[in-house]
Amino acid sequence: MHRRAHAFLLAALLPSIVFVATVLVHAAPIATPPKPLLPDAAFGRDGAPVTVVEYSSLGCSHCAAFHAEVLPRIKQAYVDTGKVRWVVRDFPLGQLPLAGAVVARCAGPNGYLALIDILFRTQERWMLEKDPIGELERLVRQSGMGKERFNACLADRALIDGVMNHAQAVQKAKLVSATPTFMIDDEQVVGMTSFEEFAKTLDRHLAAAPPKPRP
């Protein structure tokens, strides 16, 4: 597909919520978040004592850094050991991150997690490309998604609305206004943080959580 056609697809996406990502970290009590309109993409034991809900944008450099530097250590220490269930939800900060989120959603919950890993690792490559949609298309071929499926995903109004409407709902509820934002039970943590600081928060919640039987 030519660059002009890619530009048309990008312009067809709904205008996204625009915020400036922050590196400030704070914790605060949170209200009950609105239910997502699309199936959750999650990993970890369903009955884990603690659930973390991550709101991130594929164009957020702090989110990419967290996925590269911190999340693998959390996964090894807390998720793989059955202590934490991790849920990823979209909060796109612009049209390109929205396009990436929509395409990743087309791959289903398991494919979504694999695709956002690829897109975070290659963030500078596709976000800064002269033809970013063309580069995005080339990258998602690694998941087996063909050109026709890719184009159909970007034109899927129900899927676009599902991503955007939930992002707007959590924004309206004042639960998320920057990325990354993490909801850990009744606590909100905003911004890039170290593994050590995140682990302290998880340990505090694990100590307070009643034990849940394994299925």
| All structural domains of the chain | 3-208 (3.40.30.10)
The Cβ of residue 25 has, within 10 Å, a number of other Cβ atoms equal to 15
The mean pLDDT value of the chain amounts to 84
pLDDT tens digits, 2-32: 554 444 444 544 444 444 333 344 445 455 5
Output the CA–CA distances (angstroms, integers) from residue 195 to 72, 118, 150, 202, in the order listed: 9, 21, 35, 10
Q: What angle do CA 208, 210, 215 make, to 5 degrees?
A: 140
Q: CA–CA separation, 62 vs 43, rounded Å?
A: 21
Q: What is the pLDDT of residues 158-197, one digit of tens each?
A: 899 989 988 888 888 888 889 999 999 889 999 999 999 9
- Output DSSP code: residue 142: G
CA angle 5, 13, 7 (to 5 degrees): 20
Q: Are residues 119 and 100 in contact, defined by beta-carbon separation less than 8 angstroms?
A: yes
Given the structure tokens 């996406």, which residue do they identify? 13
Residue 139 has pLDDT above 70, yes or no: yes
Using DSSP bridges, classify how beta strands 187-190 and 26-29 pair: parallel, antiparallel or unpaired.
antiparallel
